[in-house]
């Protein structure tokens, strides 16, 4: 076979290259004009990664590469559209839309529409969204004849997560259950049976879920070599953005597509690989040079975001990771002679008061609330701060999802407390009743009707008047449900209902009824922990939230006072959140400016003028739960690095010196290992003073600061 190279008109190319050189820095220009072969671009935070990719696509088109022979895989479809719009502006080409651009799922869908018949599907297959897939799995659980009431079996969304994680990590379900869901190991064979039915049923019904768009794409390339050859030939150049966040399946697909030309350029930052918990594979980027020995390594190290002082701290911190591509970010910005502030506080209340005070000062100094963010490792770390912001009327949004006290698992636990304080709270009763296996909305309503008709009230014939006179005693709450089993016979032999009554007795006892912290612990220990495991894929994280809530509640001397305090977040200024869809953000106020509260994971890719990193204490950041896994300390340090590099001008790192732990022991906290492994000279240590500070606390803060310096 004879090859013929199509020559393009390149008369204007030198002029365009000159323009590119003017618009790019030297590092970016080398990436953009790299020779046609495998390339790994390690792009540090704030170094213009997107700009380099965009100009690379423009350069290829101007070099004569046909747009339809370029594949551009991005993290979001929006990113792809924006890049290609910019490419069209740079090149003036009307054919840029022919570039195969978008997420892996979008590109996989385009290819599968052409070849679905080869895999047993029709071309008009439907795509199941997450909710559809959950409902479909529920049907498969029924088909598998699993008695979910007789045995402890996970809810459909948890089964869905197990199957999805196995698919995306290319690992068997047995391994995933042992690694992430050990409490379901005895029923692994049943979960595998559901998966078998699910996979077969999707072909029968001509439907695919999101994971299938990748799995079937890979199957197509492996099982149909004639089709794989077509696409390996077509995609002369492959570019992948955010390569550090790809999973094993996505990396394998890229390798199959690049088999012929091997002109694959992957762009990412190994130091920002922070999504292992959802299947991202760090080794994809770290071991890329092993899979492509001929690959050229490029580094983007010129940072346009942060001050030299902030970058200096980030560079020293990430250098402690052994598995990485070493790099040294260099600031374009001039120094502001302001070091990152390390701010130890006497306790968590003072930490929150400091952050709120400093935010108000920054706003007075001209920094918009929109340019300020508070970053935390775990969502429950923001509890005290959210209440402090509410007290001071500082409007905020929670980038990491709904506000802490509006999360489903927190509302569940609080509902138990509400019925102890107010046994006639209908909404709270129905919420906790529906968590009991076998009780749905109808039965819950009947149970509550029985509770309304409690015997003392029935005898007097006027429930409302009688109820108002009922004494608030430890036995009242349990007494309200004593007639329920008789009123609804099938509950009489219900073991879950019996355990529910025992829990109410514990919560209502004289010893516990005015101890919200102990009550929350009892709820978690007497069934709710198991409920989380059966109903949520992130059960461990939610249980951690509840333990954090229990620690927070230790400061209240009665459950009623605790519940009243929570009502602060539901005042008129703070509107109720709407249901979350996709990447929606819940706002806590109607003001034009909103402060951002965010987890580290949600903060990735964003930036603010001033950033506060809170709870920078050992045992909080890094997360002790994350440190149970191999190599997790390095991922935690990458999370820390992402936090540091979000700040443009000012960075505040705070932690409380004293805290009361889950066992009610007062402990002295040390700064995070990520703080102490950096030279003290890189920080400006702030000593907090206030009129209400107990006289014995100020020396404690000074002493801790001096210990760190020394």
HEC profile for 104-165? HHHHHHHHHHHHHHHHCCCCCCEEECHHHHHHHHHHHHHHCCCCCCCCCCCCHHHHHHHHHH
Task: Report the C-alpha gap between 631 and 509 in whole angstroms.
Answer: 45
β-partners of residue 658 are: 668
Structure-token pair, residue 156:
């459909």
Rounded Cα–Cα distance for residues 6 and 189 (Å) = 57
| Residue 79 banded pLDDT, cuts 50, 70, 90 | confident
* pLDDT score for 31: 96
Sign of the alpha-carbon torsion through 184, 186, 188, 194: negative
Residue 457 pLDDT more than 80?
no
Q: Over the stretch 165-176, which tens digit does the pLDDT of each residue have?
A: 998 888 899 999
For the purposes of burial, counting CB atoms within 10 Å of the CB of 417, is it exposed (0-12), middle (13-18) or buried (19 or more)? buried
Answer yes or no: is pLDDT of 591 > 60. no
Supply angle C-alpha 430, 436, 439, rounded to 5.
Answer: 70
Residue 386 has pLDDT above 70, yes or no: yes
Question: In the prediction, which pLDDT does 576 show?
Answer: 35
With tokens 């070599």, the residue in question is: 225
Stretch among 45-54, 198-207, 346-355 having the lowest mean pLDDT: 198-207
Give mean pLDDT, residues 529-533. Answer: 85
Confidence category of residue 587, pLDDT binned at 50, 70, 90: very low
Q: Is the pLDDT of residue 454 over 80?
A: no
Q: How confident is the model at residue 471 (pLDDT cuts 50, 70, 90)?
A: very low
Please tell me the distance from the alpha carbon of residue 120 to that of residue 118, in angstroms, as a whole number: 6
State yes or no: pLDDT of 699 exceeds 70. no
Confidence of residue 585 (pLDDT cuts 50, 70, 90): very low
Residue 421: predicted pLDDT: 80
Strand segments (E) across 259-319: 264-268, 296-300, 302-303
- Residue 245: CB atoms within 10 Å: 24
Separation between Cα atoms, residue 31 and residue 26, nearest integer Å: 9
Tell which residue, 228, 229, 235, 232, has the closest CA to residue 65.
235
pLDDT tens digits, residue range 478-510?
A: 666 766 776 676 676 677 888 888 888 888 888
DSSP structure class, residue 38: -
Query: Residue 22 — pLDDT band, cuts 50, 70, 90?
Result: confident
How many Cα atoms occupy the beta-carbon half-sphere of 56 within 13 Å? Answer: 29
Task: Count the neighbouring beta carbons within 10 Å of the beta carbon of residue 256.
Answer: 16
pLDDT (mean) for 116-135: 85
Question: Tens of pLDDT along 259-269?
Answer: 999 999 999 99
Q: Which of 403, 433, 583 is nearest to 497 (CA)?
A: 433
Would the pLDDT of 584 be above 60?
no
Q: Is the pLDDT of residue 18 over 80?
A: no
Q: Is 593's pLDDT higher than 50?
A: yes
- Please report which confidence band the pLDDT of residue 278 belongs to, taking 50, 70 and 90 as the band edges: confident
Question: 23-37, 90-104, 429-443, 575-589: lowest mean pLDDT where?
Answer: 575-589
pLDDT band for position 443 (50/70/90)?
Answer: confident
In the three-class reduction of DSSP (H, G, I as helix; E, B as strand; rest coil), residue 368 is classed as coil
Of 52, 107, 80, give the one whose Cα is nearest residue 267.
Answer: 52
Q: Where are the alpha helices (DSSP H) in 488-538?
A: 495-508, 516-523, 529-535
* Helix H or strand E encompassing 684: strand 684-685
Selected residue with higher pLDDT from 351 and 427: 351
Q: Is there a contact between 424 and 620 (Cβ–Cβ < 8 Å)?
A: no
**Predicted confidence (pLDDT) per residue in 600-629, tens digit:** 988 988 999 999 999 999 989 998 877 777
How confident is residue 582, by pLDDT bands cut at 50, 70 and 90? very low
Which of 290, 234, 242 minimizes the C-alpha distance to 265? Answer: 242
Mean pLDDT of 545-560: 83
Neighbours of 668 (CB within 10 A): 9
Tokens encoding 94: 């009307």
Which position has the token pair 């762009």? 267
Place of tokens 């509302």: 411
For 310, which DSSP code? H
Report d(CA 640, CA 647) in Å as an integer.
12
- Residue where the block lists tokens 């006892």: 509
Indicate the angle between helix axes 408-421 and 426-433, nearest 10 degrees.
Answer: 120
Q: Is the peptide bond before 185 cis (omega within 30 degrees of 0)?
A: no
Q: Which of 92-106, 311-325, 571-585 has the highest mean pLDDT?
A: 311-325
CA angle (423, 426, 429) in 5-degree steps:
70
Report the C-alpha gap between 34 and 52 in whole angstroms.
11
| Residues above pLDDT 70, as percent of the chain | 84
pLDDT exceeds cutoff 80 at 371: yes
Task: Name the token pair of 678.
Answer: 């950096």
At 493 the pLDDT is 65
Lowest-confidence region among 136-150, 223-237, 677-691 = 136-150
pLDDT at 642: 96
pLDDT at 463: 33
Question: Quick one: tokens of 595?
Answer: 């402060």
Q: From CA 297, how far away is CA 291, in angstroms rounded?
A: 13
* DSSP character string of 464-476: HHHHHHS---TTH
- What is the rounded CA–CA span in Å between residue 655 and residue 275? 25
Average pLDDT for residues 515-543, to the nearest whole number?
85
Three-state SS at 296: strand
- State the first-to-last Cα distance of the chain, in angstroms, to the nearest integer: 74
Determine the pLDDT at residue 475: 57
Of the candidates 249, 161, 208, the one whose C-alpha atom is nearest the C-alpha of residue 540 is 161
The segment with the largest mean pLDDT, out of 141-150, 230-239, 516-525, is: 230-239
Query: Count of alpha carbons within 13 Å of 628, Cβ hemisphere only?
Result: 7
The answer to whether 372 and 360 have CB atoms below 8 angstroms apart is: no
What is the Cα–Cα distance from 59 to 41, expressed in whole angstroms?
A: 16
pLDDT above 60 (res 426): yes
Q: What is the mean pLDDT of the chain?
A: 83
Residue 583 has a pLDDT of: 33
CA 204 – CA 290 distance, rounded (Å): 41
Whether residue 571 is predicted with pLDDT greater than 50 in this model: the reply is: no
- What is the per-residue pLDDT for 151? 65
Cβ proximity of 303 and 44 under 8 Å: yes
More confident of the two residues 652 and 548: 652
Residue 287: per-residue pLDDT: 93
Tally of residues, the chain: 710
The secondary element (H helix, E strand) that includes residue 189 is: helix 188-205
Return the pLDDT at 701: 56
Give the CA angle between residues 240, 241, 247 to the nearest 5°.
75
- Selection from 306-315, 523-532, 551-560 with the highest mean pLDDT: 306-315
| Strands 396-398 and 586-587, sheet pairing | antiparallel
User: What is the greatest pairwise CA distance in the chain?
Assistant: 101
Q: List the structure tokens of 505.
A: 């007795």
Given this model, what pLDDT does residue 707 score?
63
| Per-residue model confidence (pLDDT) at position 142 | 86
CB neighbour list of residue 76: distance below 8 Å, 6 or more residues apart: 103
CB within 8 A of 610, min separation 6: which ones? 362, 367, 371, 372, 373, 647, 648, 649, 650, 651, 652
Residue 370: pLDDT band (50, 70, 90) is very high
What pLDDT score does 470 carry?
Answer: 40
Residue 577 is predicted with a pLDDT of: 35
pLDDT the model gives residue 586: 42
């Amino acid at each position: 076979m004879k090859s013929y190279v199509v020559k393009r008109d390149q008369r204007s190319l030198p002029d365009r290259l000159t323009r590119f050189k003017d618009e790019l820095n030297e590092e970016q220009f080398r990436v953009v004009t790299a020779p046609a072969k495998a390339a790994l671009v390690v792009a540090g935070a704030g170094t213009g990664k997107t700009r380099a990719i965009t100009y690379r696509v423009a350069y290829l088109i101007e070099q004569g590469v046909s747009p339809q022979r370029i594949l551009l895989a991005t993290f979001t479809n929006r990113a792809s559209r924006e890049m290609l719009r910019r490419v069209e502006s740079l090149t003036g080409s009307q054919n840029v839309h022919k570039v195969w651009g978008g997420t892996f799922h979008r590109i996989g869908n385009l290819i599968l529409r052409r070849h679905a018949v080869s895999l047993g599907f029709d071309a008009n297959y439907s795509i199941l969204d997450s909710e559809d897939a959950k409902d479909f799995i529920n049907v498969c659980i029924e088909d598998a004849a699993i008695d979910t009431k007789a045995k402890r079996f996970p809810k459909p969304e948890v089964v869905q997560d197990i199957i999805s994680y196995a698919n995306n990590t290319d690992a068997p379900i047995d391994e995933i259950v042992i690694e992430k869901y050990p409490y379901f190991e005895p029923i692994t064979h049943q979960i595998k049976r559901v998966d078998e039915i699910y996979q077969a049923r999707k072909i029968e019904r001509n439907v695919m879920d999101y994971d299938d768009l990748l799995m079937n794409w890979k199957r197509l390339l492996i099982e149909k070599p004639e089709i794989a050859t077509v696409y390996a030939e077509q995609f002369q150049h492959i570019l992948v953005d955010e390569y550090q966040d790809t999973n094993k399946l996505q990396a394998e697909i890229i390798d199959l597509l690049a088999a012929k030309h091997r002109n694959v350029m992957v762009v990412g930052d190994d130091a920002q690989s922070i999504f292992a918990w959802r299947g991202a594979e760090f080794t994809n980027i770290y071991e890329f040079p092993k899979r492509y020995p001929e690959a050229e390594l490029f580094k983007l190290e010129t940072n346009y975001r942060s001050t030299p002082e902030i970058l200096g701290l980030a560079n020293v911190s990430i250098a402690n990771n052994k598995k990485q591509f070493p790099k040294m970010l260099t600031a374009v910005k001039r120094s502001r002679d302001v070091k990152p502030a390390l701010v130890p506080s006497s306790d968590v209340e003072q930490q929150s008061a400091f952050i709120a005070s400093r935010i108000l000062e920054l706003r007075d100094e001209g920094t918009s609330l929109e340019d300020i963010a508070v970053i935390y490792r775990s969502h429950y770390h923001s509890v005290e701060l959210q209440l402090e912001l509410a007290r001071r009327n500082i409007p905020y949004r929670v980038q990491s999802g709904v506000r802490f006290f509006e999360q489903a698992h927190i509302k569940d636990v609080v509902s138990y407390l509400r019925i102890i304080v107010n046994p006639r709270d209908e909404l709270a009763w129905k919420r906790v009743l529906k968590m009991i296996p076998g009780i749905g909305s109808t039965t819950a309503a009947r149970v509550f009707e029985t509770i309304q008709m409690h015997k003392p009230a029935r005898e007097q014939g006027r429930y409302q008047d009688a109820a108002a006179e009922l004494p608030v005693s430890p036995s009242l709450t349990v007494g309200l449900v004593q007639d329920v089993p008789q009123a609804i016979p099938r509950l009489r032999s219900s073991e879950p209902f019996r355990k529910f009554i025992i829990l109410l007795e514990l919560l209502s006892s004289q010893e516990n009824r005015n101890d919200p912290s102990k009550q929350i612990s009892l709820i978690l220990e007497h069934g709710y922990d198991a409920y989380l495991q059966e109903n949520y894929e992130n059960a461990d994280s939610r249980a951690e939230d509840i333990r954090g809530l229990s620690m927070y509640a230790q400061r209240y001397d009665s459950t009623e006072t605790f519940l009243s305090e929570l009502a602060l977040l539901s005042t008129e200024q703070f509107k109720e959140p709407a249901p979350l869809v996709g990447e929606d953000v819940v706002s806590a106020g109607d003001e034009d400016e909103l402060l951002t509260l965010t987890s580290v994971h949600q903060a990735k890719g964003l930036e603010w003028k001033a950033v506060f990193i809170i709870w920078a204490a050992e045992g909080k950041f890094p997360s002790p739960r994350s440190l149970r896994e191999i190599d997790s300390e390095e991922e935690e340090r990458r999370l820390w690095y992402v936090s540091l590099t979000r700040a443009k001008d000012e960075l505040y790192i705070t932690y409380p010196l004293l805290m009361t732990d889950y066992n009610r022991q007062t402990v002295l906290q040390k700064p995070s290992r990520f703080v102490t492994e950096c030279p003290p000279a890189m920080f400006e240590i702030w000593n907090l003073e206030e009129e209400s500070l107990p006289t014995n606390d100020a020396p404690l803060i000074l002493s801790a600061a001096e210990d760190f310096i020394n």
